[in-house]
Amino acid sequence: MDFLKWVVLILVSTSFCWVPISSNLQNPKDLGKDYLSYAKRTELVEWMVGIRRRLHENPELGYEEFETSKLIREELDKIGIPYKHPIAVTGIVGSIGTGRPPFVAIRADMDALPILINQIVAVQEEVEWEHKSKVPGKMHACGHDTHVAMLLGAAKILQDHRDDLEGTVLLVFQPAEEGGGGAKVMIEAGVLENIDAIFGLHITNTSPVGTVTSRPGPIMAGSGFFEAVITGKGGHAAIPQHTIDPILAASNVIVSLQHLVSREADPLDSQVVTVAKFQGGGAFNVIPDSVTIAGTFRAFSKESMEKLKQRIKEVIAGQAAVQRCNATVNFSVENKMFFPATKNNEELHEHFIKVAGDMLGVRNVRDRQPLMGSEDFAFYSELIPAYYYFLGMSDESIGELGHPHTSSFSVNEDALPYGAALQASLAARYLSEALSNKSIHAPKVNTHDEL
């Protein structure tokens, strides 16, 4: 059964009484402010905060989000929103609206992070508060707990205003963003079938609460990983002439790899090559037989990524050979997936500027420079019009929030109603405008067709 058939069947099976599509949005510019006012109601804020804290206490890694998924489904049941599960092991897709086109999706990632020293020793969350992680070595250190809470908040807003919807909103709760490529697996399961556009967000401590930042075009880099084993001939450190030193060869490799960006890349085409792993030897006076190095490379285009990949292989093999060593290079590193660049659709950017500006004020909608970090939201943006933005949460009165992916990371929960209301508004106004605006990538439909 394809995804559209599922949406139609599950909506027919519910007890909602749908009316023919008609515009209930007397003034679309007011919708965002209305939704934000609704999201700031004490009971809704407390509900989202409670969900976020429950998730934070019980973090689960990619494709292990079983309790997280259960909590989301229980809340969707309470709201009265039908959904499909499981998708991509733990993923969920809920549906709100008429069951007819246009279809728009809003997405939240669900997984937590491993917090380890040297990838081995588990670390406990450093932030001392009542709801800190109860699982050593695991933590919502990137804010995905807030993403889930905000998407559920958006679901509540949309469900309570479902008569406003002139189409169908799909709620995509996605597993395994942190390196597991959950978006790709969700796509392979058919989640994007018939969807015209998708929106995603990420909280950030680099801009104030009540602001958002983004840009058209590339917003986050594509990423790849490499691992190389450089093999020589070990021996006693006192007689290096009888050895072929792989440490020396690896050192030359690392220096030469830096030239790929400083001397071969266009300065206007941002790229990164970083060697972050160097393992070899176990004694002060013994030259080892081999050394392993590994790292990552980043760029904003497929062409630049392919060129970096080719040159990394050539440099490692060539520099190893200069030092009489052999080298093998592997780009299919275990548990590491190639991510394309995340690119924001130009027309959706105009939509975002308009909707966010009406809700927050134009001064609070700001441009953001592209980031060299990567996001599996990129897999969506490769296939359909997609838009990804950052939701501010900093507040001088509460001090530093810590860096993402560290055990000192924390969030400002005051940002939750802004994210919930904006996701809901982006989706609702997209549906309304898509029916009369072909440039928003939605087909015209007969507004009086029955389910």
Q: Annotated binding residue at 178?
A: yes
Task: Give me the amino acid identity at 445.
Answer: V
Distance from C-alpha of 246 to C-alpha of 234, rounded to nearest angstrom: 8
Q: Annotated binding residue at 413?
A: no
Q: Annotated binding residue at 17?
A: no
Nearest one of 279, 299, 301, 300 to 290, comparing CA atoms:
279
Q: Annotated binding residue at 147?
A: no
Task: Give me the amino acid identity at 91.
Answer: G
Q: Annotated binding residue at 142?
A: yes
Binding residues for Mn(2+): 142, 144, 178, 202, 405
Binding site listing? 142, 144, 178, 202, 405
